[in-house]
Amino acid sequence: MAYIILNKNNFFNNLDIIAKSTKGRDKIALVLKDNAYGHGLLEMASMAKEYGVEKAVVRTIEEAQKIESFFEYILVLGRTQTALKSQKIRYTINDIASIDKFEHGTKVELKVDTGMHRNGIAMSELEEAFSKIKEAGLILEAVFTHHRSSDELTSEWFWQKENFVNVKEKSRELALEFGFGSLRFHSSNSASLFRQLDFDEDMARVGIAAYGCIEVPDALHLKELKPVLSLWASRVSTREIKAGDRVGYGGDYVAAEDCVLGNYDFGYGDGFLRACACGYKTPDGAELVGRISMDNSTFKSDKEKILVFDDARDVALFAKTISYEVLTSLKPEIKRTVAEF
């Protein structure tokens, strides 16, 4: 099997940088959905706790329950079938229809659609939502939104931010009217957090920046964030081939000269993207030859262990996708080891 090394120093370095922007560790809500972006839910939760992160964001209640002992606060973003009441877990209201699905006394956060048009109630539905939440006897703790273009340097981000300013104002009035306590507000993901020097919300929901693979234009000067995950594989066999020999399924690769090839025990069955075929080079310069198989990949290398990648963005660039997809594709079965360097 391939294996993953998690660089704890890099993770803590990233959290230091993030904490400077949020102005406090207590304002970091670490996004741990999808197996912590492929890094391993429990491994990352445990390191985050050690660092002093108190808040986490996940997609499902199952994820929330697995990490309950690590955090003070957990927000579940996704659809919730059975929302178990918990001191720590908060559930997202993604539309008006979902309000009466929650049991009396459940802690909820209201998501408002300020322009992405994916999830959340419409801005015009704020009053109706507050009223229904009150009627259902839910504990409304926060109102939040999500940006659709925080990683593109266009005016759209400002437009949505302005919309959310109005939502906050209206929500504060409604909270008074319906007798809710003071509300918390949050809107920033990684890219959005780093677009503002004057961050002043109650928390930021930070995913990709913590994992060190943020994809934003250079203008945002984020080079000091460092990737946490590296993927490694062990050699299964080596062989010498002659010029003109073809390698792998379909014989796609044709050797230009005599060479030694190593075959390594990872492939798309481990979640490595098949789009990353002929021509991809590892950080140490070993060239991938032929197609990726399910459990095998061949490189121009005879090393015992090969570093497949240590920055998901390099793979993403090659496979014409984003670091998020490269990382979340990695199967949970791959062994993850935390290392301090």
Ligand X SMILES: *Cc1c(COP(=O)(O)O)cnc(C)c1O
Residues 6+ apart with CB under 8 A from 9: 340, 341
Own/partner long-range contacts of 40-43 (Cβ < 8 Å, ≥24 apart): 40/4, 40/6, 40/332, 40/336, 41/66, 41/67, 42/66, 42/67, 43/6, 43/336, 43/338
Q: Name which of 259 and 317 has its Cβ closer to ligand X.
A: 317
Distance CA 201, CA 199 (A): 6
Of positions 39, 146, 313, 336, contacts ligand X by CB under 6 A: 146
Residue closer to ligand X, measured from CB, 112 or 209:
209
- Site membership for ligand X, residue 326 (CB under 6 A): no
Q: Which stretch binds ligand X (CB under 6 A): 93-101, 153-161, 169-177, 189-197?
A: 189-197
Among residues 38, 40, 120, 207, which is the contact residue for ligand X, using CB under 6 A? 207
Nearest approach, Cβ of residue 50 and ligand X (Å): 21
In the bound complex, what is the minimum distance in angstroms from residue 23's beta carbon to ligand X? 17
95, 119 contact by CB (below 8 A): yes
Q: How far is the CB of 175 from ligand X (least distance, A)?
A: 22
Q: Which residues of 99-123 are buried (b: 16+ CB within 10 A; e: fewer)?
A: beebeeebbbbbbbbbbeeebbbeb
187 counts as binding ligand X under rule CB under 6 A = no
Distance from C-alpha of 6 to C-alpha of 44, rounded to nearest angstrom: 9
Tell me the window of 1-9, 14-22, 38-46, 186-194 that interacts with ligand X (CB under 6 A). 186-194
> Which one from 33, 88, 107, 132 is the annotated catalytic residue?
33
Binding segment for ligand X (CB under 6 A), chosen from 95-103, 199-207, 264-272, 289-297, is 199-207
Q: What values do phi and psi take at 221, rounded to 5?
A: 45, 60
Q: Verify binding: residue 77, ligand X, rule CB under 6 A.
A: yes
Which of 4, 28, 31, 136 touches ligand X (CB under 6 A)?
31
Residue number with CB closer to ligand X (207 or 267): 207
Q: Is 33 a catalytic residue?
A: yes
Can residue 206 be called a binding residue for ligand X (CB under 6 A)? yes
- Residue selected from 21, 190, 230, 298 as contacting ligand X according to rule CB under 6 A: 190
Distance, in Å, from the CA atom of 159 to the CA atom of 157, rounded to the nearest integer, reads: 5
Rule CB under 6 A: which of 228-287 touch ligand X? none
Task: Give the shortest CB-179-to-ligand X separation in angstroms.
Answer: 28
**Residue 30 touches ligand X, criterion: CB under 6 A:** no
Buried b (16+ CB within 10 A) or exposed e, 85-95: ebebbbbbbbe
| Least distance between ligand X and beta carbon 194 (Å) | 10
Beta carbon of residue 153, minimum distance to ligand X (angstroms, whole number): 15
**Catalytic site residue from 20, 23, 85, 249:** 249
Applying CB under 6 A, which residues contact ligand X? 31, 33, 77, 146, 189-191, 205-209
Give catalytic residues, as residue numbers. Answer: 33, 249
